[in-house]
Structure 1
């Protein structure tokens, strides 16, 4: 395998079940515990503010996961999930249709309900999300129309977690991909973007996947260049070493940005 994990390798080698087991069980000794708690806390705050809402949200690079959408489904009426690999989309559909053997997200759903003040039972939250997700589409952020051949109307919101650092070969590719997904967002719409900093690889089972080294300054510059105003940038430096055999990131981030109404290019926050 080359240093960069390309699309064909992702299609053939990425095991969604191993990925979910490695990173998304809330057991205190995996990346999922720290990353999930960081992400879900800030997502609950963003979507409870009343500022970020709309008809349609597109999740860019959903993978086999649903956690970024648990608070979002309370403020968007329709959610479209997207991912590049067939197996990720199949795993996501298995959860949506409540198939036996699909990943158990209930600990994560319960945590989100707690963060939101236990307004609804966790089972209702799950059912509501399942009803809100209307489509699961193939997506390639490296293409000018990421959902080609499907042409989607511009959405009110975009969300993307741990996608760009895996899919993009280098920083120029990251900038291009960010511009590609921005075409899917209405002017004035909001993007929630999250991932890790200082990372060059991550493991799924025994398979090593590449990542590009990202910094806070680079991400902010890329967002401004793509025509966004940065509303907030949350960062958490990590000191835990229990997951260093799986990934070498040194910080987590979550940014809320708004697409300017005057076009895609230029300006600053």
Structure 2
């Protein structure tokens, strides 16, 4: 049997607001939030501290309009590309990059980073710095051999 018939990508319909509220918002169950947001931030931060993450360009592909995984390492990259699989997620990510009021709030994830660094971070300045490094938000097609073709 062809295993590709079991693939399911939310390329057309995804309620990113429900996804964010259920798994990644500050109101998410604390244990789940630790597993899905806090712990990955801590691991990535440790990798940055050890010099294991560095470069010029970062390409991010994650489920939904998530930013927490970029936070601990964004300063290592001057050119960030965010790949999304549907138009709704692209629109939501553009809201955040443009600083719109109804964009998803990632302040709770920034607080995790503050604790790791042992200092208070001006999270608005950090968000603005991250926004300035996001050079493109692109749609990718996970059904293609090269999902970013013809862009990369």
Same structural fold, with TM-score higher than 0.5 when normalized by the shorter chain: yes
Aligned to 1:70: 71
Give unmatched runs, 5+ long, in structure 1: 153-269
Could you say what the CA RMSD is over the residues aligned between the two structures, in angstroms? 2.1
Question: Once structures 1 and 2 are overlaid, which stretch shifts more, 107-116 or 29-38?
Answer: 29-38
Note closer, same or farther for the CA distance 1:28–1:84 as it changes in structure 2 (3 Å cut).
Answer: closer
Post-superposition Cα deviations, 1:89-130, rounded to whole Å, max 9, x if no partner, equal 111111110112111111111222221232642222111111
Q: What is the CA distance between 1:74 and its match in structure 2? A: 1.4
- TM-score when normalising by structure 2: 0.85
- Structure ID, larger Rg: 1
- TM-score when normalising by structure 1: 0.50
Higher RCO (C-alpha under 8 Å, 6+ residues apart): 2
Aligned to 1:88: 89
Matches for 1:1-269 after TM superposition, within 5 Å: 4=6, 6-7=8-9, 10-27=10-27, 29=29, 31-61=32-62, 63-118=64-119, 120-150=121-151, 152=152
Note closer, same or farther for the CA distance 1:146–1:90 as it changes in structure 2 (3 Å cut).
Answer: same
- Report which of the two has the higher share of helix: 2
